[in-house]
Amino acid sequence: MKYILMMNGTKAHFSEYAKWSKKDMEANVAFMRAFSKQLKDEGVYVATEGLGWPDQAKLVRADKDGTPITDGVFPESKEFLAGYWIVDVESPEQAYKIAARASAAPGPGGASSNVPIEVRQVLGSHSDLGL
């Protein structure tokens, strides 16, 4: 079963992160690198990506003739996807355990950042005979 584990944040959250000390940032990056490696070692890793920051995000709509209209106007409260992991596990409980590990990524002062991780199942196309 594939699950996507998403780390979201408002623009304010991203700004806060940008103000972390060098040491705290390095610890967080090191954690992320090690975490991905662990997932690979555990045989559950499918994909992971970090995304460009909200300031660079664009909202695109189609004009009457199909040309893209872009703007960068978002509500202040909007949560942006910072990055995700996709894992292949045997149960939702296993996905939640992995999400909890991601949530414990170190923040300022080295303490757990306790960031909430959104967990959703990734739809597959194989059918379940249900026997």
Backbone dihedral region for residue 103 (phi beyond 0: left; psi -120 to 50: alpha; all else: beta): alpha
Q: Is residue 75 a contact point for another protein (CB under 8 A)?
A: no
Task: Please name the residues in contact with 115: beta carbons below 8 A apart, sequence gap of 6 or more.
Answer: 7, 9, 102, 103, 105, 107
Structure tokens that stand for 67 in this block: 């040309």
C-beta of 41 vs 71, nearer to another protein: 41
Q: Is residue 124 a contact point for another protein (CB under 8 A)?
A: yes
C-beta of 18 vs 123, nearer to another protein: 123
| Residue span binding another protein (CB under 8 A) among the ranges 39-47, 63-71, 101-109, 110-118 | 39-47
| Residue span binding another protein (CB under 8 A) among the ranges 5-13, 19-27, 36-44, 99-107 | 36-44
Task: Please name the residues in contact with 92: beta carbons below 8 A apart, sequence gap of 6 or more.
Answer: 1, 3, 119, 121
Largest CA distance in the chain: 55
Give the residue, chosen from 17, 35, 45, 85, that forms a contact with another protein under the rule CB under 8 A: 45
Residues that bind another protein (CB under 8 A): 1-2, 40-47, 88, 90, 121, 123-131
